[in-house]
Amino acid sequence: MIRVPKTVVDELIAHARSLAPVESCGYIAGSSTQMTRYIVMTNVDNSPDHFSFDPKEQFQAVKSARSTGETLQVVVHSHPVTPARLSAEDIRLFNDPQMIYLIVSLKDTIPTTNAFRVFKPEPGVVDIQPVVIQVMG
């Protein structure tokens, strides 16, 4: 389970809405159990069905988190017209089992979010574990 302040959830949803139909992306920084802030990133692919971080922004995000004693805990991206579930491309690209992957879907009137950990113990094997998101305050 991860605890995410409502303000952070509101920020990542607002970011997703502001870029739709392009996928938004970012990080949530914090500790292993308490997330503290959303870091907006640029989707350099500018695509409605794919995202890539700008490497310079990634480096700045790591530096920013370290400067406040945090780490990057969650990769966030949006699905503007599909559900908040991992796509085949998401699964193929996600390689860090320590990272939580959160998807915000704008498919319905009320946005939905789901979070996952993706493990690839051996070639061709994928273990997807849902992560419970507890919205605080």
* pLDDT, tens only, 107-135: 999 999 999 999 988 888 889 999 999 99
* pLDDT, tens only, 44-75: 999 999 999 999 999 999 999 999 999 999 99
Which residue is listed with tokens 């193929």?
92
Q: How many residues does the chain have?
A: 137
* 127: its two tokens: 């273990």
The predicted structure's pLDDT at residue 106: 98
Domains and CATH numbers, the chain: 2-136 (3.40.140.10)
Q: Looking at beta carbons, which pairs linking 83-89 to residues 24 or more positions away fall under 8 Å?
A: 83/107, 83/112, 84/112, 84/113, 84/114, 85/114, 86/116, 86/118, 86/128, 87/49, 89/49, 89/50
Q: Is this prediction's pTM over 0.85?
A: yes
The predicted structure's pLDDT at residue 58: 96
**What's the rounded Cα separation, in Å, for the pair 35 and 104?**
16
* pLDDT, tens only, 36-46: 999 999 999 99
132 against 32, higher pLDDT: 132
The answer to whether 17 touches 115, Cβ cutoff 8 Å, is: no
- Which residues are within 8 A (CB) of 124 and not within 5 positions of it... i.e. 6 or more apart? none
25 strand-pairing partners:
41, 77
Q: Is the per-residue pLDDT at 6 higher than 90?
A: yes
